Structure 1
Amino acid sequence: MQFLLLGACIYGAYALFGTPDDEESQRTVYISEAQITNLSAMWEKRWNRPPTETELVGLVRAYMREDILYREAIAMGLDNDDHIIRRRLAQKLEFLTNDLVQMQEPSDEELTAYFEENTELFRAPDRVTFAHVFFNPDSRGDATLDDAAAALERLQAAGDPNGEVVEEGDRFMLQNYFVEASELDVRRAMGSGFAESVMQLEPGIWHGPLPSGFGTHLVFVNEFEPAPPPELADVRDRVLNEWRRVQTEKFDAEFLESLKSRYEIVIEAPEAFTDSVLEAGGKVREVAIPDGPPNS
């Protein structure tokens, strides 16, 4: 209901402050003090200084010229079937409605409830410290997996490497030791499949062989540090931004539904698209596809 009230506010404000449609107003170019102030502010934001009097006069003249040309273009129908103009106007309405939603502030109770329902979104990443030994399939060929399996037996017998260099495997172009790395850190270096596997390994023993985009690896996890549950006070800004994003999506959906109720939507579509069109809220008009070329 609150979203529908916001939508009503948009149209109410437009009715009060929007441009009238009578012919006289369409022939009047009115540049308000607020618009001049806005032109000056945009100049200052771009050039890091306020405009001079001469520059401000130039800005007003440019705005006047643009407004006149815009009105004449609309009068000539140049906006018809222009996808760029249509998309831009739709975006302006979206920006307006989104700004209204962003102005909303949830109560402490609402924000706390949202946080408790979505705690995992705000949890810090788990961390892992591990070493790995690389086996290069380019140089070892079909023997890669057998070599890795044999090395795994030797490493398991030796136990914890205690940070010492392991005399096994091949030279690796990146790091062989990761300290307190998140899954994202490992993914960026080694690939998603390898990272996902490493985060699930038991600490204190050697594992493998594990594949990556580079080749085959043996992995020793020194320590796995699960992230503690987040506290609302520590992530409040993130929670608020996410709450606003969700509210904006809800408002967009409800606002569009309220607008669609004012229109009869007819979509000419072949039979294969009928279900999709109906889900979109339209009425289907069957299209008769001619067997041959149209009569000349």
Structure 2
Amino acid sequence: MKKLLKEPFLHFVLIGFAIFIVYAFTVDENDSENAIIIDDSDISHMVSIWELQWQRKPTSEELAGLINKTLKQEVMYREALKMNLDHNDEVIKRRLAQKMDFITSDVSAMVNNPNEEDLKEYYNKHSERYMRPAQYSFYQVCFTYDNHSDPVTQAKLVLENNSDISIDEFTKLGDPLPFPFYYESIYANKLNSELGGNIAESMENQPLNQWIGPIESGFGIHLVYITEKTDPQLPSFAQMKDVIKRDYDYDMELDSREKIYKNIKKSYDLKLEANLDSEIKEKILTEFGS
């Protein structure tokens, strides 16, 4: 029994019930008043706004997304009106729907109070989020397309003819560029960001302490001399606890808000009277009914 009382979902149900019971008696049981009608004029309005912003017509998937967004706004708007959130407040539907979102966020905050065990379980389930990428320390020279008609061939020739010279001498054989010849302990994702392309992935299985290549980046063709590599590592739970707590709270808030929306929209009937493609109509009806 004690374990049941500690269940977050039970808290969610009880708190949600407490919030909505205050206005439950005001709900009209007449199904027609709970009907949501989307007609051609509504679709035309959505498309017009989209075209003004993006200078093109929406795709079928984008139109379906617009309709779903409008449906969610309408459901939240009507529920907000039932709770008299519009009293002395002259705001548009979007603002009222946002107020409903704020309430569901508050419910989520009250429900989700994870303990150490909850956070560790979340950490283990989503460990790939916190994996630190590989790190590299290496020298590099680059041959650009601006300076060479065939930089790949040039890189191969330099590699074949200069295997016995020092690193300092080797680094003088490439083109001058606005980044260092030597990178120390740089993460793979940062390396890709600085040089462009997927240069870090090309270095994954390469040997240490010898010139290898050619390897392509956003600047051109590289020869690299890797001195040190650290494989991807997962930080400990203690190191990432604050980040894990933040991510947990965010995910649980999204989940709780979606559960509340799904529960609310059950009391509404959707009538699609617009002249829509059958595929779009089926997508909307399926999404609203799920």
Q: TM-score range by the shorter chain?
A: 0.5 to 0.7
Is the partner of 1:9 in helix, strand or coil? helix
- Describe the shift of the 1:146–1:228 C-alpha distance in structure 2 as closer, same or farther (beyond 3 A): closer
Aligned to 2:171: 166
Q: For 2:97 and 2:9, how far apart are their aligned partners in 1?
A: 18
Higher relative contact order (CA closer than 8 Å, sequence separation 6+)? 2
Is the partner of 2:159 in helix, strand or coil? helix
Q: Which amino acid aligns with 2:245?
A: L
Aligned to 1:96: 103
Aligned to 1:261: 266
The 5-angstrom pairing of residues 136-285 of structure 1 reads 136-141=144-149, 143-155=150-162, 157-158=163-164, 161=167, 166-268=171-273, 269-282=276-289
Is the partner of 1:158 in helix, strand or coil? coil
> How far off is 1:186 after superposition?
0.7
Alignment size in residue pairs: 221
Structure 2 residue ranges without an equivalent (≥5): 1-6, 27-85
Percent of residue pairs bearing the same amino acid type:
24
Aligned to 2:142: 134
Residue 114 of structure 2 is aligned with which of 106, 109, 114?
A: 106
Q: For 1:140 and 1:193, how far apart are their aligned partners in 2?
A: 21
Q: For 1:159 and 1:117, how far apart are their aligned partners in 2?
A: 50
> How far off is 1:182 after superposition?
0.6
> How far off is 1:200 after superposition?
4.3
Q: For 1:231 and 1:146, how far apart are their aligned partners in 2?
A: 45
Is the partner of 1:280 in helix, strand or coil? helix
Tell me, yes or no, if the aligned pair for 1:266 and 1:282 is still in contact at 8 Å: no
Tell me, yes or no, if the aligned pair for 1:160 and 1:205 is still in contact at 8 Å: no
Normalised TM-score (structure 1): 0.65
Q: For 1:159 and 1:226, how far apart are their aligned partners in 2?
A: 29
Q: For 2:268 and 2:11, how far apart are their aligned partners in 1?
A: 20
> How far off is 1:153 after superposition?
1.5
- Describe the shift of the 1:90–1:160 C-alpha distance in structure 2 as closer, same or farther (beyond 3 A): farther
Q: Which amino acid aligns with 1:9?
A: I
Max radius of gyration: which structure? 1
- Describe the shift of the 1:164–1:105 C-alpha distance in structure 2 as closer, same or farther (beyond 3 A): farther
- Bigger drift between 195-204 and 227-236 goes to 195-204
Q: Which amino acid aligns with 1:92?
A: K
Are 2:53 and 1:9 aligned? no
Q: Which amino acid aligns with 1:216?
A: I
Q: For 1:227 and 1:188, how far apart are their aligned partners in 2?
A: 17
Normalised TM-score (structure 2): 0.66
